[in-house]
Amino acid sequence: MGNRLSKIYTRTGDDGTTGLGDGSRVDKDGARVSAYGTTDELNSVVGMVMAHPLPELVSQVLNEIQHHLFDLGGELCIPGHQAIQQSHIDWLEEVLDAFNQDLPALKDFILPAGGHASASCHLARTVCRRAEREVVTLGRTEELPEFSQIYLNRLSDLLFVLCRVVARFEGGSEVLWQKNRPTISLKGGSSS
């Protein structure tokens, strides 16, 4: 096991820099820090989803994803380190296919709403997309392991499917986008 933190504050970041896993120091608002910081944020939002009642299998899958995201954060924090493999992506695809097979086909766009758990899962999905964008940005200037961006892309797909699964578990239905909906009027009723 590595070093344990015995003191939480070090004052070394007071100048706007932070230490990477390889010991180098970079600006806190740099592309690499944004990428692993958003990955950490995503992990936290997945934890928020898990704080709600969920089907046991969904909880188990999200727990595994949290471990993957921790590994991915380490990969992004240590230049040249690779933790995410093709096997992680294969696992995501297998899980995605298993959850998706019993869902009805989509005919409309789904709004990021529903019950507490499904809405939280939609938040996780959108933070995942942002983490993916941050990794793409980082990859423009630095060499990255080949699977990190693909992992986040596939994970956002899985989170979308889990939103649909969780909406049904919560006893609600998906909130569908309606193109030709009436406009809401505050003067009593709706108007067109």
| Domains annotated on the chain, with CATH | 26-191 (1.20.1200.10)
- Written as tens digits, the pLDDT of the chain (192 aa) is 456 656 665 665 556 656 666 766 765 667 888 898 999 999 999 999 999 999 999 999 999 999 999 999 999 988 888 999 999 999 999 999 999 999 878 877 887 778 899 999 999 999 999 999 999 999 999 999 889 999 999 999 999 999 999 998 988 777 777 777 788 888 865 555
pLDDT score for 28: 61
pLDDT score for 129: 98
Which residues fall within 8 angstroms of residue 62, CB to CB, at 6 or more apart?
46, 49, 50, 54, 162
Instruction: Provide the b/e sequence for 110-139 (b: ≥16 CB within 10 Å).
Output: beeebbebbbbbbbbbebbbbbbebbeebb
**What angle (nearest 5°) sits at the alpha carbon of residue 47, between those of residues 45 and 49?**
75
pLDDT score for 26: 61
Which residues fall within 8 angstroms of residue 79, CB to CB, at 6 or more apart?
20, 22, 24, 32, 142
pLDDT score for 184: 80
**Model confidence, pTM:** 0.84
